[in-house]
Amino acid sequence: MSRIGKKPVAIPDGVKVSLNGREITVEGKLGKLTYEHRPEIVVTIDDDAKQVVCSREGDEREKRAYHGMTRALLQNMIDGVTNGYEKKLEIHGVGYLGAIQGDTLQLRVGFANEIHKKIPKELDVSCPDQTHIVVKGSDKQKVGQFAAEVRAVRKPEPYKGKGIRYEGEQVRRKAGKAAK
């Protein structure tokens, strides 16, 4: 059995989980998330014990993988609607900065033109100052995806460390050319 899949997912107070066929809906104070699970997985909601249990028929490798994945996604959905997710980015480099204008993130990171990234509706993106970007939301996948897209605009380079990086990310530095 999948060790992750065997563990039931606890439903905290203030969270409503409903099942409609294969579609699971999780509602909480930070929003509503839906997920359609694979047909190989059986999801049951135990209202008395306030938990969700995932199970599967068969013991094939693929089914075991889907079992653990479904349980992990359910846990992420419940955590997302209760606490939310947050990714912090730092901008390093002389003249490199970011700003929010309306529903667009503007980045000046060493290109001839500013880069404009449209902010998805379900995310809350802010710039506490010009060198920091904070991405918040209830969907872990969308928060991580948007943060990765912003970082991909100008990844940190190994010689001077200029670029956009996650907060706390260690950039592997290289030595420059050795002088004769």
**In the prediction, which pLDDT does 1 show?**
47
What is the average pLDDT across 112-125? 94
Q: Tell me the CATH number for domain 9-83.
A: 3.90.930.12
Where are the CATH 3.90.930.12 domain residues in the chain? Answer: 9-83, 85-166
From the list 63, 61, 77, the residue with the least C-alpha distance to 12 is 77
Within the chain, what is the greatest distance between any pair of CA atoms?
76
pLDDT tens sequence across 2-46: 588 889 999 999 999 999 988 999 999 999 999 999 988 899 998
What is the average pLDDT across 113-118? 94
C-beta of residue 5 within 8 angstroms of C-beta of residue 74: no
**In the prediction, which pLDDT does 2 show?**
59
What is the average pLDDT across 132-145? 95
CA 16, 19, 24, 25 dihedral sign is negative
pLDDT tens sequence across 88-115: 999 999 999 999 999 999 999 999 999 9
**In the prediction, which pLDDT does 18 show?**
92
SS3 169: coil
The domain defined by 85-166 folds into Outer Surface Protein A; domain 3 (3.90.930)
pLDDT tens sequence across 53-101: 999 888 889 988 999 999 999 999 999 999 999 999 999 999 999 999 9
- Report the C-alpha gap between 95 and 101 in whole angstroms: 18
